[in-house]
Amino acid sequence: MTAVAAGGGMNWDLNKTIIVTALLALLALSIWLPNALIDPVLTIDNGPNGAPDYIIENFTSTAMDEHGRPKHALSAARLVHYPNERSAHLAQPHLVQYTPGGPPVHTTADQGRVYNDGKELQMTGNVRVTRGGDGGDPSADVVARELHVILN
């Protein structure tokens, strides 16, 4: 009987080891799996020269105010986003700024650059700012080589 008891004791230790190992594996999976599904790691190879990560052709982006009315709309023939610079370069940008109770202000240029998380816009080359007349307000037309716009 001693041999049977010793054999039964080894079988019990083996069962405990398998159960503990299975529980540890389940614990590790329960920690790893939600993180892998919810927060996947995405890496983009930007290359040695800071290559763009995306390009958009013929786009329009509209920002709305707290009442759901458009504040400003930015469109361009081409947007090239550079993640290393945290900026976007624009070809033929057109900015329309809306003012409550007044006519919209249109700004166009040959080139543009959006930076500071989309809060600033630098427009260069044949910049033209136009505001139509409205009631008693006269229209306005300004031409410049460069214009810095802070978008609020």
**Pick from 34-43, 62-71, 117-126: least confident:** 34-43
Q: Which amino acid is at 9?
A: G
Residues 129 and 85: their CA atoms lie apart, in Å, by 27
pLDDT digits (tens, 9 = 90+) for 49-63: 478 888 999 999 999
Residue 48 is encoded by which pair of tokens?
């040695």
| Nearest residue to 113 (alpha-carbon basis) of 67, 79, 72 | 79
How high is the pLDDT of residue 8? 54
Q: Token match 């013929």: residue?
A: 58
Run of H or E including 78: strand 70-82
pTM of the model: 0.65
Residue 133's pLDDT band, with cuts at 50, 70 and 90, is confident
Q: Are strands 70-82 and 94-97 parallel, antiparallel or unpaired?
A: antiparallel
| Nearest residue to 74 (alpha-carbon basis) of 132, 138, 118 | 118
| Nearest residue to 61 (alpha-carbon basis) of 93, 83, 91 | 93
